[in-house]
Amino acid sequence: MEILIALVVVVIFMVVAASKYKFHPFLSLLLASIVMGFVGGLTEKEITATLTTGFGKTLGSIGIIIAFGTIIGAYLEKSGGAKTMANWALNTIGKSRSVLAMNITGFIVSIPVYCDSGFIILSSLNKAISKRTKIPLVVLAVALAGGLYTAHVFIPPTPGPLAATAALEADLGLVILLGIVVSFPVSLVSYFWANYLQKRYKNIVDTESIVDNITEADNPSQGIPKTSTAFMPIIVPIILIALKSIADYPTHPFGEGIYSRIVNFIGNPIIALLIGVFLAFKLKNKVKEAVHFNWIGEGLKEAGVIILITGAGGAFGSILQATGIGDIIGNSFSNFNLGLFLPFLIAAVLKTAQGSSTVSIITTAAIMAPILTSFGLDSALGKALSVLAIGAGAMTVSHLNDSYFWVVAQFSGMDTPTALKTQTVSTLLQGVFGILLILIIGWIFI
């Protein structure tokens, strides 16, 4: 129990350090990682090796994506493209439904696209709508993040649910069908929570936003871009990533030849976002090349801090995994006969302890696979609901050791206490509602 107690103490320390003493999360995450490494019995060499490996692994999967996403965001803001998107969205859906629109958009986008990538891609639209409607950015961010996160943990072909489906030998089609049925109302939980937050938070959008301060020197004699031009850097990467997900489907709808390889290459999030960057270049129009170069620099400058904090969160999660905290938690709960609540509980504790939803899903599926029969969950429906119960646990809760938490916080201008009170609570509410819905379905049909 020492390591679990230490984890609670370390998390409390990070929250207090950030909120009361304004200690930078990058440093607090690294210090917390070192402390947890020693408490978990790792040697000095193992701690440093795991820190650097976890940092590099996290940034290897998302660092370049963050950089490309911030460049696209800078072009959308500086050129007025974000304002174009906001005008289109508000004219189409109306100001009164902006929060719901972002939640549904996130839900749809995250079925084929990683939630991290989806939030980065859509953050510029979020900011533009916040600026136009005066809805606090934190509200729109929570609604968008909740929609993205829900599909990420419930609906294949995202890797976690897909791996759990394979590990439990569940029917993929049934998991997808039930995943859609369960995940949409779970997504709406974050929408209702965001609406509640709207009553509590004042508009925290920067009144000196670059969108409203494009000078004649930066953007001479130029109106805002056309709607199609503004949306292309966002829509095209999403479509390419979605096509890659379809190509990776077990039935290989694009075959296994040259067309499939091309789709897999250009649909990789890094390549897809790079294409989005070049499409964003079309937004510069008559802007001078020197100014155009500065836009790239400003985007990369913004990316730097986000990348470092995200990497530190990944390092913290890797240290926790190396301490064997997953095995400790799994062994502690696997002997309890709790039905569908057991996979949820194991996944929730694992997620909260080590940060990665995908790792908690895969680990929990491995723990549950040999004991499904003894719990009466070996039917087709039982296996499918077990996958979903694991997914519900894997979103409960997202906090300081989760890279997605930092992506949402940093791209939305939240400080750590605000992100914990909004985004973290949102994932808790979603996870709890998700398992209640799954338990009701299981009680009726199993």
- In whole angstroms, give the CA distance from residue 111 to residue 113: 6
Residue 2 domain-assigned? no
Residue 19 domain-assigned? no
- Burial letters for 323-337: b for 16+ Cβ neighbours within 10 Å, e otherwise? bebbeebbeebeeee
- Alpha-carbon Rg of the chain, whole angstroms? 22
Lowest mean pLDDT across 130-139, 170-179, 297-306: 297-306
Residue 21 domain-assigned? no
Kindly report, residue by residue over 22-60, the tens digit of the pLDDT: 777 788 778 888 988 898 888 999 999 999 998 888 788
Three state DSSP letters for 200-220: CCCCCCCCCCHHHCCCCCCCC
Kindly report, residue by residue over 409-425, the tens digit of the pLDDT: 988 989 889 999 999 99
Strands (DSSP E) found in 172-330: none
Which pLDDT does position 223 carry in this prediction? Answer: 65
Residue 265 domain-assigned? yes
Position 305 pLDDT exceeds 80: no
Q: What percent of the chain has pLDDT over 90?
A: 26
Residue 201 domain-assigned? yes
**8 Å CB contact between 121 and 160:** no
Query: What's the one-letter identity of residue 145?
Result: A
Residue 251 domain-assigned? yes
- In whole angstroms, give the CA distance from residue 105 to residue 301: 28
Mean pLDDT of the chain, nearest integer: 82
Q: Give the list of residues 6+ apart from residue 17 with CB closer than 8 angstroms, or none.
A: 23, 28
pLDDT band at 212; cut points 50, 70, 90: very low
Position 247 pLDDT exceeds 80: yes
Residue 33 domain-assigned? no
Higher-confidence residue of 279 and 157: namely: 279
- In whole angstroms, give the CA distance from residue 228 to residue 239: 15
Cis previous bond, 397, omega within 30: yes
Kindly report, residue by residue over 350-368, the tens digit of the pLDDT: 888 778 787 788 778 877 8
Residue 312 domain-assigned? no
Domain membership of residue 101 as a residue range: 54-302+326-445
Q: How many domains would you assign to the chain?
A: 1
pLDDT band at 214; cut points 50, 70, 90: very low
Which pLDDT does position 219 carry in this prediction? Answer: 42
Residue 129 CA to its chain's centroid (Å): 20
- In whole angstroms, give the CA distance from residue 203 to residue 135: 6
Kindly report, residue by residue over 164-203, the tens digit of the pLDDT: 888 888 887 788 889 989 999 999 999 999 999 998 876 5
Position 429 pLDDT exceeds 90: yes
